[in-house]
């Protein structure tokens, strides 16, 4: 009798000790990993080229002004503070009907008092081939009147985990009568 009680006590103690160790393990805040354990082998450099359709007019607009800031004499020319939400198509060629490779989702806002300088905060969401579902995040300045604008790629998801790079934007066409624009993007990205 006394023997079996002491056996039970031992078992309870062992179970308690194990659960304590498991809890201690699961509560560890950080650990060191090898890159290989996440499947990260060699970093590579890729170049992507596509066309961004900023459609502001008509019933199928994909760029919609969501905030119009109070105008002052100082900001009238640049629309300082205006915010546009976009879900713009990205296509393989400059025609709107050419193959869709992704979308640019996010916002741009006029962030410069004295010239046309936009703050771009957007994600490219790709649908093409093996990149389907992977994203790249862009956060940068877009002085739209310059011939070439450079914006940093600050990260990504899916095939673009741990990515970094830059995007070069060139206006391909701008329709003066309705404000629609087609912008060529060349994107250079380091990823695994
Ligand atoms: C991770 O590795 C560094 C350098 O080798 C070491 O100083 C650090 O203690 C390790 N951290 C953990 C949580 O093991
Ligand atoms: C808008 O989209 C609809 C549905 O896709 C299409 O039928 C229509 O022709 C488009 N309108 C314009 C002006 O592009
Ligand atoms: C804004 O500009 C208008 C026309 O140029 C002028 O009459 C007005 O005084 C200006 N207002 C301010 C606050 O500077
Ligand atoms: C991309 O992935 C979605 C969801 O996983 C799927 O429905 C769609 O058909 C795929 N598109 C292409 C072009 O592979
Ligand atoms: C520019 O916009 C106008 C008005 O919507 C349209 O009639 C015209 O076809 C557009 N031009 C081009 C080159 O798309």
Cα distance between residue 162 and residue 166, in whole Å: 14
73 alpha carbon to ligand 3 midpoint, in Å? 6
Does 114 lie in the same domain as 184?
Answer: yes
Same domain, 8 and 51: no
Same domain, 51 and 9: no
Give residue-wise pLDDT tens across range 103-132.
999 999 999 999 999 999 999 999 999 999
Are residues 86 and 120 both part of a single domain?
yes
> pTM of this prediction?
0.83
- Whether residue 175 sits in one domain with residue 99: yes
Specify if 11 maps to a domain. yes
Q: Same domain for 133 and 163?
A: yes
Same-domain status, 71 and 124: yes
- Are residues 48 and 106 located together in one domain of the fold? yes
Render 60-80 in DSSP notation, one character per residue: T-SEEEEE-PPP-TTTTTTTT
Query: Whole domain around residue 7: which residue ranges?
Result: 1-30
What's the confidence (pLDDT) of residue 186?
Answer: 98
Instruction: With respect to residue 108, please indicate whether it lies within any of the assigned structural domains.
Output: yes
C-alpha 116 – ligand 1 centre gap (Å): 48
Q: Could you report the per-residue pLDDT of 1-49, keeping only the tens digit for each? A: 555 556 665 655 555 555 555 555 568 899 999 999 998 899 999 999 9
| CATH assignment of the domain containing 51 | 2.40.480.10
The band of 159, judged by pLDDT with boundaries at 50, 70 and 90, is very high
How does pLDDT run across 51-84, given as a tens digit for each residue? 999 999 999 999 999 999 888 888 888 999 999 9
The partner residues of 166 in beta bridges, in order of sequence, read 152, 188
76 occurs within a structural domain: yes
Of 172, 177, 180, best ligand 5 pocket probe by most atoms within 8 Å of the beta carbon: 177
Share of the chain above pLDDT 70, in %: 86
- Judgement on whether residues 124 and 169 belong to the same structural domain of the protein: yes
> Which one has a higher pLDDT value, 180 or 71?
180
Q: Is there a domain that residue 36 lies in? A: no
Nearest atom, ligand 1, residue 30 CA: 13
CA angle 64, 65, 67 (to 5 degrees): 145
Lookup: tokens for 80 = 């300082």
Could you tell which of 32, 33, 35, 37 is best to mutate to test the pocket of ligand 1, judged by most ligand atoms within 8 Å of the CB? 32
Is the minimum distance from the CB of 31 to ligand 1 under 6 angstroms?
yes
Cβ of 72 closer than 6 Å to ligand 5, yes or no, is no
Which pLDDT band, with edges at 50, 70 and 90, does 192 fall under?
Answer: very high
Domain count, the chain: 2
Is 84 part of any domain?
Answer: yes
């Amino acid at each position: 009798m006394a023997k079996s009680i002491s056996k039970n006590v031992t078992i309870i103690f062992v179970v308690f000790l194990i659960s304590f160790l498991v809890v201690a393990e699961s509560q560890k805040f950080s650990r060191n990993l090898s890159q290989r354990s996440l499947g990260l082998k060699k970093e590579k450099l890729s170049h992507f080229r596509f066309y961004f359709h900023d459609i502001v007019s008509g019933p199928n607009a994909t760029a919609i002004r969501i905030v119009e800031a109070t105008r002052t004499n100082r900001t009238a020319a640049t629309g300082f503070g205006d915010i546009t939400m976009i879900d713009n198509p990205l296509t393989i060629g400059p025609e709107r009907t050419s193959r869709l490779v992704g979308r640019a989702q996010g916002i741009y806002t006029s962030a410069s008092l004295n010239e046309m300088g936009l703050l771009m905060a957007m994600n490219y969401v790709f649908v093409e081939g093996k990149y389907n579902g992977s994203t790249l995040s862009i956060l940068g300045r877009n002085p739209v009147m310059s011939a070439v604008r450079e914006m940093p790629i600050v990260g990504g998801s899916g095939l673009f985990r741990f990515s970094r790079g830059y995007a070069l934007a060139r206006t391909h066409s701008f329709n003066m009568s309705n404000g629609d624009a087609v912008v060529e993007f060349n994107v250079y990205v380091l990823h695994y």
